[in-house]
Amino acid sequence: ALTAGLRRGGVLLGILVLPLSVPVLIFAAAAMDAASMHLPADGYLAVLGALLAGSATLSPFATAAALRLSVQ
């Protein structure tokens, strides 16, 4: 919704989404690294699960707000 009316909205969209995806990449890489060294990866997977639960909970509200902004 923020980038819909902009010509170079892809750049702004990338800047907005990047901070949201970096923690997922970090914890997923750490979990894979721990699992490859036969160490427990439960903590990393718990954080990834918490991020999933949070994003699944908040995404309907963000989608509704974006749709309201795009209609106006």
The model's pLDDT over 37-59, given as tens digits with 9 standing for 90+, comes to: 999 999 999 999 999 999 999 99
pTM score above 0.85: no
What local confidence, expressed as pLDDT, does residue 1 receive?
Answer: 56
The answer to whether residue 7 sits within a structural domain is no
Average pLDDT (21-30) is: 95
The answer to whether residue 17 sits within a structural domain is no
DSSP state of 25: H
Cα atoms in the 13 Å half-sphere on the side-chain side of 20:
10
| CA atoms of 21 and 2, how far apart (whole Å) | 18
The answer to whether residue 5 sits within a structural domain is no
Q: How far is CA 47 from CA 6, 43, 60, in A?
A: 35, 6, 21
Q: Are 56 and 63 in contact (CB under 8 A)?
A: no
68 or 51, which is more confident: 51
The answer to whether residue 2 sits within a structural domain is no
Q: How many domains does the chain have?
A: 1
Give me the chain's average pLDDT, please.
87
Q: Which residues, other chains included, contact 23 with Cβ-Cβ below 8 Å and sequence gap of 6+?
A: 51
